[in-house]
Structure 1
Amino acid sequence: MQPVELNPKRKRENPLVWIFEPLERDPEYSRERFFNFQAAYLDGLLYLAVASGNEPWNGLVVCTSHDRQAGLLDEFPVLAPHPVLGKWLYVSQTHPEFETVAHEMVALARERDPRMGVLPGKRKRSPDVIEMKSSSRKKKAQ
């Protein structure tokens, strides 16, 4: 019998995080949530992200910029601009070459390929959230 998850707020582990295992030995590697993704950072730059939801949020995203896409697209025709996040490249986990491309992208990330990696933006919070957090801190201080 399978255990039943009783906490509906608890997120299930993303089944694609295995992709990042070769990066775990790198002292400059960190893995963090990035919206609905699990993201791989190296040297503070966002390199790769994985999501396991409905398309187009079901695979590997290669974090790059428009001006660096061409070289990756030429070398890896399986990649395509993400339909929503157009400056990043994407391959669905349903693609037959997904695992091969995922391993190749991780290898490029480990080598710090200059076509990959972006500086993550600062998280923007709505004024309501900022005010709510501020008033919460004031209550704790009292």
Structure 2
Amino acid sequence: MNPQSLPAATNVTPMPSSISNSLVWIFEAFERDSTYLTKRMFGSDAAYVDGLLCLVAADRDPPWSGLLVCTSQERHTALIDEMPALQPHPVLGKWLYISQDDPAFETVAQRLATLVLARDPRVGVEPKPRKRARKSTLPGS
């Protein structure tokens, strides 16, 4: 086939896994920590330290445009008292959130990274184990 006869690619949207997340700079502080691991979650990037899910950097449309702090609701008050810009996430209310549009975003993100590295018990949750796929009960499968 002649390459000139091929239609030009227009309006090609990259798959979510290939979209660059402008907020991953937050995780640079963890790179020297031997327990640090990052995974994709909700089309965003999640940081794990010591096996705990700690932060999710979400660079998408609101309300997935900022930093989610993985914590329990019992710890919300203490973290909000220290960083008033944090609020419960509008969809995942069990976690705290700061929008990247918030004027305090960079300061709060840096503070949270420091807390993670200090193993502050207010940040981090045990990830739930993945459910194994169930076998089909249909005959012949």
The interval holding the TM-score normalised by the smaller chain is: 0.7 to 0.9
Q: Does 1:86 align with 2:93?
A: yes
Match of 2:52 in 1: 45
Mark the CA change 1:66 to 1:39 in structure 2 (over 3 Å): closer, same or farther: same
The CA RMSD over aligned residues, in Å, is: 2.0
* 1:54–1:66 Cα change, 3 Å: same
Moved more, 90-99 or 28-37: 28-37
TM-score (norm 2): 0.82
Task: State the alpha-carbon separation in 2 of the partners of residues 7 and 92 from structure 1.
Answer: 24
In the TM superposition, what whole-angstrom CA distance separates every residue of 1:91-136 from its partner, at most 9, and x where no partner exists? 0000111001000000000001010100111234664xx66xxxxx
Residue in 2 aligned with 1:19?
26
Deviation string, structure 1 residues 45-72 (Cα, Å, up to 9, x no partner)? 0000111111100000000001111100
| Identity between Structure 1 and Structure 2 (%) | 52
2-structure distance, mates of 1:36, 1:7? 15
The structure with the largest alpha-carbon Rg is 2
- Residue 106 (structure 2) pairs with residue 104 (structure 1): no
| Aligned mates of 2:11, 2:51 — CA distance in 1 | 34
Match in the other structure for 2:5: none
Match of 1:49, SS?
strand
- CA offsets 1:29-58 (integer angstroms, 9 cap, x no match): 111111222011001000001111111000
One of 15, 34, 39 as aligned partner of 2:41? 34
* Length-normalised TM-score, structure 1: 0.81
Matched residue of 1:48: which SS?
A: strand
Gap runs ≥5 in structure 2:
1-9, 137-141
1:6 is displaced (CA, Å) by: 6.4
Q: Spell out structure 1 runs of 4+ moving beyond 4 A.
A: 4-7
Which structure shows the bigger proportion of residues in helix conformation? 1
Q: 1:19 and 1:5, CA in 2 relative to 1: closer, same or farther beyond 3 A?
A: farther
In the alignment, structure 1 segments of 5+ residues that lack a partner are 132-142
